[in-house]
Structure 1
């Protein structure tokens, strides 16, 4: 892929409005997610949900959001992206109203499941509308940079204002806040965004959908609940899914796409980006509150200020990809995320540790947001327009799965130590090691196929061999 950096990319007025609607939808989802996390204790108390059941407020959302994203991403290609996007927003509106008016745990958890389905529908459809509206190159890179910046900003804003909003109004505001935004999106979208073209003969790979979605749900549930039988079932279903996709005449996820280095390594990078950073935030939250004794409000500010500052990384990343290529930006961003976590391994029980923690968070969040943009560009580049729903479904699924499993995995690592601070340090050490080793894997995995090593030198092979990875090197 070559990029013209001599002239600034032009975005029409209509495209700007489309951008506003689609980015606004993503921002709304991320704000709502983080606000609800802050409000969890109040939510549980409001509907009579005990402490033991409180994690299911999150898990009830996470399971469908992660397990069905790939399926809905492909359905967006087959049945229309705008149609699926609007259906997701409609479902989100109804689920939010149900959650806001919930009086029992059953009503609340039902609302959370429906919100998860709505996210699985709307997120890949919205992202594929973005990638198909803006052609591959400098414009799309910058658009995805803005998308990454706003998603990160949404999580941060939600964490910052969540406590104040819930305190001033009610935990129900965490559900109601996105309803007016969703209504505006529903009113504006039909006249602004055209429906995507769909194949003449639409056929859904039902066996692939059942085994793929079932396998993901089983594996995610196994990680959350530490359930070995569920893990075995999940692995078997995913193995069956792979075999079905190899033989299906109309596969849900064509293996030729799954094997593309940009798709394979881009999504692997996204998985590492989100599992490690999500777990780090959770571990440092425990450190700030249980070791240093800070309140939830102060903890939110400690994360929020560097988080807001790092939103600028999304804009910078989009421009940098056009200049240096997504491979370089992705590996550098992920390396920065990992190296910024390294000083946290040595934090002590004195509040003077904030002098190290705050700069490390700022630098780490900057690398994190940069990596998000770069892995999204990598995972969606070099594919035909009719495959963008699948590509964005994969990248969205990667994000949802990673966010869901990151905390349980590294929490289990931390629990191997008897002293809490020692466990946090050990888990953060694993975080750093996994991140930095992955940087090496990703760098070589995304190396253009047009070069091979012969006697210590890079030797060109053929233009055809290089085309598969041209997008990954910018």
Structure 2
């Protein structure tokens, strides 16, 4: 099997082994996307069963997010040094074990420890799986199609996760939200070693341990501060203290990277316009669209009075839009380019979101909401696939784990960042009802999309030739 096979006009005619490899990697990505969303509906029941108070329920989600975002860049580099396939398999094994522990958890400490393990497993698997895809397929239409399908499946995973969480909680038990991961992990581990291959790494530099510690602590502090601010307010030391610590740790990290012989993150890589701006665009693309669910949930249930099932069906339609966007993204990129796909995608997303800033308390808004969220979801996935293509373009093979680690970090931080900010805006501008706050939050969301699109259009530069290795 050679990478040239995928770059030819007959790229769609994959061998059985190639199809299985792609299917395994897609399954892992889909499962982790499901894992992120599956507990949202189940949290109240988990709280009742395990004795979590209302204020402490968010730690079931936050513990996972802290580890997933905090360790992703570190493990992205570890994958470069010790093998993407090896780390992928270790991560899937860890996901299976920690999910089994979470499923049988009978106490808060056990569940939170297992959730931390699931977050670390996510930090291992996502960049490793993405690296295996980007190093298997040469840059061009074949890779774009694969990344588009990956984006579509991850979008489907978020939607499926919310639906499965409700089904498991209502019909069986929330514990099956964890047990399903065990089944998937066993299947993937049984097949992956025989169908996944990777290009050998010619040289393995030393791991930059001080840099790894600094960036991991910085990301954990950042996510902790953002989450605390969204839950308890931004004025308290629990929010601004960790954020100040994050800024200091980021400064320490960059100071370390400028001095060590073999840095964890090559500053030259971060100076590349496509990598820096691509990841910023991706972070904000994830932050805006995943966080839009929060004010829309309040609008549908608190303002319009719909039940959770109806709201879930409406969001499922939004999910169809995101899947469609992932499927059409490669064609869009092929006709224009990845930078233009990001710019156009975010502009359309912003334009589709803006009308929702004028929603009223009348149910006549439901049909327009369905239309614009479908369009916005489709445009968002075009932008996300565009940033994935852009941020890995012309990156040497031995740095693909780092590049995909940056992408995964942007994704995790964006998902974590958006909802607390939207929550704060809703609370700050709510009057006698939540509607004014909902309108402001959605308006800010749309404005962020448009501003990001303009900045990317003006400042991003796509690489013209392969980077030196």
Give 1:354-393 correspondences, 5 Å limit.
354-393=366-405
Confirm whether residue 58 of structure 1 aligns to residue 61 of structure 2. yes
Alignment-derived partner of residue 317 in structure 1? 329
Deviation at 1:471, TM superposition (A): 8.5
SS at match of 2:41: helix
Distance 1:428 1:309 in 2: 18
Alignment-derived partner of residue 460 in structure 1? none
Contact 2:321/2:375 (<8 A) preserved: no
SS at match of 2:379: helix
Confirm whether residue 404 of structure 1 aligns to residue 416 of structure 2. yes
User: Which moves more between the two structures, 5-14 or 370-379?
Assistant: 5-14
Confirm whether residue 20 of structure 1 aligns to residue 23 of structure 2. yes
Distance 2:164 2:307 in 1: 15
Deviation at 1:407, TM superposition (A): 0.8
SS at match of 2:106: coil
Deviation at 1:397, TM superposition (A): 0.5
Confirm whether residue 348 of structure 1 aligns to residue 360 of structure 2. yes
Confirm whether residue 116 of structure 1 aligns to residue 100 of structure 2. no
Distance 1:348 1:254 in 2: 50
Contact 1:32/1:177 (<8 A) preserved: no
Confirm whether residue 247 of structure 1 aligns to residue 259 of structure 2. yes
Deviation at 1:308, TM superposition (A): 2.0
Deviation at 1:306, TM superposition (A): 3.1
Which 5+ residue runs of structure 1 have no aligned equivalent? 449-467
Contact 1:82/1:196 (<8 A) preserved: no
Distance 1:59 1:166 in 2: 20
Residue deviations 1:352-399, cap 9 Å, x none?
110211101110110111111111111111111111100100000000
Distance 1:7 1:292 in 2: 51
Q: TM-score, normalised by structure 2?
A: 0.93
Residue deviations 1:131-189, cap 9 Å, x none?
11111111101000010000001111222232122211101111111211110100111
Confirm whether residue 72 of structure 1 aligns to residue 75 of structure 2. yes
Alignment-derived partner of residue 276 in structure 2? 264
Deviation at 1:322, TM superposition (A): 2.2
Confirm whether residue 222 of structure 1 aligns to residue 232 of structure 2. no
Deviation at 1:9, TM superposition (A): 5.7
User: Which moves more between the two structures, 6-15 or 365-374?
Assistant: 6-15
Distance 1:21 1:392 in 2: 18
Instruction: Quickly say closer, same or farther: Cα 1:229–1:73, change in 2 above 3 A.
Output: same
Contact 1:261/1:469 (<8 A) preserved: no
Contact 1:446/1:469 (<8 A) preserved: no
Alignment-derived partner of residue 327 in structure 1? 339
Confirm whether residue 286 of structure 1 aligns to residue 298 of structure 2. yes
Alignment-derived partner of residue 81 in structure 1? 84
Alignment-derived partner of residue 423 in structure 1? 437
Confirm whether residue 205 of structure 1 aligns to residue 208 of structure 2. yes
Confirm whether residue 179 of structure 1 aligns to residue 193 of structure 2. no
Distance 2:244 2:225 in 1: 9
Alignment-derived partner of residue 276 in structure 1? 288
Contact 1:79/1:202 (<8 A) preserved: no
Contact 1:344/1:428 (<8 A) preserved: yes
Distance 1:32 1:102 in 2: 17
SS at match of 1:185: helix
Q: How many residues align?
A: 451
Distance 1:471 1:248 in 2: 25
SS at match of 1:38: coil
Deviation at 1:11, TM superposition (A): 3.6
Aligned-residue CA RMSD (Å): 1.8
Deviation at 1:413, TM superposition (A): 2.1
Contact 1:138/1:322 (<8 A) preserved: yes
Distance 1:161 1:95 in 2: 19
Q: TM-score, normalised by structure 1?
A: 0.92
Deviation at 1:342, TM superposition (A): 0.4
